[in-house]
Amino acid sequence: MTKYKILFIIYLVSVVSSSVANITGIDVQTFHRVPFIGIRWIDVAILIIMGGFIHSLTVSRSLVKNNGLIVGLCFIYLAFEFFQLVFSWGVIDAQTQISLFFATLCVFIIIDSSMFTMEPDDMLTFLKDGAIWGSCVLIVSNFYLFYSFLTGNVIYQDLDVRISLDVAGTKETVTTAVLTPFVYGFAMYFSQTEIKPWQKAVFITAIISVFLSLVTSFHRGTLFEIGVITIYVIVSSKKAQQAFGKLLGLAFLMGIFYLLFGGILRSKGYDPLEKIIETTKFAADVNNPDWDKGRSGPQGYAIKAWQQHPWTGVGYDALYNYGLPDDYSTAHNGVITSLFHRGIIGTTILILILVVLYSFVIRLWLYVRKAKGEMN
């Protein structure tokens, strides 16, 4: 578990570094990169995990024998991506190409963690510690965004469609799209268990900070994830009175949030309830011509570029070399982006890897259900 702890710590440092860099005036790359070498810490962690994974395969024949399909697909995928990097080298700046290559190697983290036995108690401890530290980081990130919102130190984007806020002067921001539902879900879970008072206070504060972020950032995806988690927490209750208690507790938290920050937000022209309702309606209004926020444009460029190289894609290239305006960076669609970079062949390999990984999850779920049935 040590390597995963290190990886998670590096990610949390990367997330909080943007806020710290803006507060202190320090270059954010100071937090992201190894001193004197300039390599990103996250890339080092990815290489360590991938190297450890490959080393384990060389010393354990049973590991290869029991996971032959996923192991074979991994090495085919690695070879394909390496050749894509070589054949497209120099079409954009080298640093971006290397960063993209390391990003695609992240799939080995999931593969590595799915092939090794972990004790349930160790996993629960890891999740609890991760939720606590993740909560602390999210609190800093969300409240700094809120502070910047109050002081006017923000940039307004997507006016009249969906308003998002970026802190003025932000040097680099690591997304919290994954961290937010992770923290919220486990904060909801662990805050209902027997934990220390300070831990419960951290979790509750994190939940309130998530509510704040929903109002100030208006991110539809995050709102949907938080809504699904909230519904699951309530309906998964064994008894009706437990579900009612959870619903009452959530309403109490939202009431505190509204009392603490509602007046401040309204003075800025952002009523919390109105903005969340507005975001929800906009997310559901798929017939609205502005619903995709202009994403169909870059997707069209990506599809057109892919059609020129349907089998292997364009490699580690960028859409601006195919006419995409500078206002956009990606196609905002995983499948289309994959086809753009690695074509039908590479995308098929990646999908097969994901299918095998999901089969692992299904088997684990069936095993857990069977174990629970035997215990009962």
Under 8 Å between Cβ of 306 and 339: yes
* Residue 177 pLDDT > 50: yes
User: Of 177-191, 221-235, 320-334, which range is least confident?
Assistant: 320-334
Instruction: Give yes or no for a contact between 135 and 187, defined as CB atoms under 8 angstroms apart.
Output: yes
Q: What pLDDT is recorded for position 243?
A: 85
Mean pLDDT, residues 177-204: 88
Its pTM stands at 0.79
> CA nearest 23: which of 167, 197, 136, 224?
167
Higher pLDDT, 263 or 317: 317
- Cα torsion 299, 304, 308, 311 to 10°: value is 40
Work out the average pLDDT over 124-132. Answer: 87
Residue 86: the pLDDT is 93
- Domain assignments of the chain as residue spans, ordered by start: 119-293, 296-375
The position carrying tokens 């956009």 is: 328
* Percent residues over pLDDT 70 in the chain: 86
- What average pLDDT does the segment 191-197 reach? 83
User: Residue 36 in 3-state DSSP?
Assistant: coil
pLDDT at res. 159: 44
pLDDT band (50, 70, 90) for residue 306: very high
pLDDT of 262-288, one tens digit each? 787 778 777 777 777 777 777 777 676
Cα 296 to Cα 139: distance, rounded to the nearest angstrom = 34
pLDDT band at 166 (very low <50, low <70, confident <90, very high): low
Give the span between the Cα atoms of 169 and 151, in whole angstroms. 14
What is the distance between the alpha carbons of residues 227 and 249, in angstroms, rounded to a whole number? Answer: 15
Q: Higher model confidence: residue 119 or residue 17?
A: 17
Range 212-229 average pLDDT? 79
Average pLDDT, the chain: 81
Secondary structure class of 243 (helix, strand, coil) = helix
Mean pLDDT confidence for 26-37: 83
Q: How far apart are CA 186 and CA 203, in angstroms?
A: 9
- pLDDT tier at 135, thresholds 50, 70, 90: very high
Sign of CA dihedral 74, 80, 82, 84: negative
Residue 244 confidence (pLDDT) above 90 = no
Please tell me the distance from the alpha carbon of residue 159 to that of residue 119, in angstroms, as a whole number: 49
- Within 8 A by CB and 6+ apart from 106, the residues are 46
pLDDT of 122 reads 78
Residue 176 pLDDT > 80: yes
pLDDT in tens, 75-123: 899 899 999 999 999 988 888 888 888 888 888 887 777 777 777 777 7
pLDDT at position 311 is: 94
The β-bridge relationship of strands 164-167 and 154-157 is: antiparallel
E-assigned strand segments in the chain: 154-157, 164-167
**Cβ neighbours around 78 below 10 Å, total:** 17
- Residue 161's Cβ-count burial label (10 Å; 0-12, 13-18, 19+) is middle
pLDDT tens digits, 140-152:
988 888 888 778 7
Average pLDDT over residues 165-180: 70
